[in-house]
Structure formats: structure tokens, C-alpha cells
Amino acid sequence: MTANPNIERAARAIAAAVVHGTSGDPALEAAQQLDKLGLLTQSTDPFSTPGRNRPAPSPAAVAALDQCRRAKGVADTTRAQIDGMPGEPDVSAVGGEVRIVVHPESLADWKQWMHALGVGDARADSTGAAMTVRCTYGGVRARLVGYGVPALYGERLDYVGRRTAARP
């Protein structure tokens, strides 16, 4: 005796397709009838089949999932908090980290972003096209990416250099 309550329904559907089928392929008719009754479902989880035991997740996997959930929550609340900030912000949560991508038009805009995130004098890495600052925001890892910031710093250095050279 099986524990699956659908066995009897499936047997009746197969018998009806074999005995009362109208096409030359009773197996196909049986399968279509089982599908119509919802007895042929695709399971995306191989451990959900009866008789299979799901292994317990590792502590590292549980911690990573928790970190991803917290980052997603911080990203969702950050979207509302940064409304009106300069530089067309785009906020997302990726790999347990909040990523804020901006396109500041001036160094003042960039400094405003750094102040809003509490970054202060954090070390930034330049890729040539963007400046990336890693920090902690809302209790999770965060990354502020400013596209065009290295060029803004370059313009500032050129301006200061010209001003200094023009002095007698």
C-alpha cells in the first residue's frame, strides 16, 4: 500500500484512456488525462519527491542568505531615503552588498553622496571611468560607484594647476 493518495485517481485515468480512448495512442491519451487532473507536475526541487531527505543547509549558507536578505532590505529603504539626491542614483542589492551607482555632475555632488552614506574620508579606487568607495551602510556592506568622478577630479587638478601657474 502506498502513501500517495493520487495513485488511485491516476489508475482510473489510465484505465479510462486505455478502454475508452479515441486515438490510436492510448499512452498519450493517458498522459494527457493525468496532466488535466494535475497529477503530472514538474518539480523544480529534486528533494521534494517523497522518500528523499533534504540536507540541512550549512551555517555558511544560512549566513550568506541572511546577509543577502538584509542587503535587499537596506536597498529597498535606501531608495526612498535618497529621493532628490543628485546624479541619477540606481540602488540594487547584489551578493549581500548594497550597490549605489550615481552619475554626479560635480565634485560637490560626489561629496554629498559620500556624506549621505557616512563614508567621510574613505579610500576610493578608480577604474578610470568610475570611482568606487566601499563602506558599511545600514549594517551591511555597501559600494558607492560614481561614474565620471575621476574626470571631475582631473578637471579640478587642471584648474588648480592653471591657477597656480598664472600667479606671479
Q: What is the pLDDT of residues 19-35, one digit of tens each?
A: 777 777 878 888 888 88
- Could you report the per-residue pLDDT of 91-120, keeping only the tens digit for each? 999 889 999 999 988 888 888 888 888 876
Q: What is the pTM of this model?
A: 0.58
pLDDT at residue 45 tops 70: no
Secondary structure of the chain as H, E, C letters: CCCCCCHHHHHHHHHHHHHHCCCCCHHHHHHHHHHHCCCCCCCCCHHHCCCCCCCCCCHHHHHHHHHHHHHHHHHHHHHHHCCCCCCCCEEEEECCEEEEEECCCCHHHHHHHHHHCCCCCCCEEECCCEEEEEEEECCEEEEEEEECHHHHHHHHHHHHHHHHHHCC
Those residues whose C-beta lies under 8 Å from the C-beta of residue 68, and which sit 6 or more positions away, are: 93, 95, 96
| CATH of the domain spanning 59-166 | 3.30.460
Q: Which candidate, 115, 106, 54, places its Cα nearest to that of 82?
A: 115
Domain boundaries, the chain: 7-44, 59-166
The C-alpha cell at 91 is 540602488
Q: Which three cell numbers stand for residue 31?
A: 498522459
- What's residue 67's pLDDT? 92
Band (53; pLDDT cuts 50, 70, 90): low
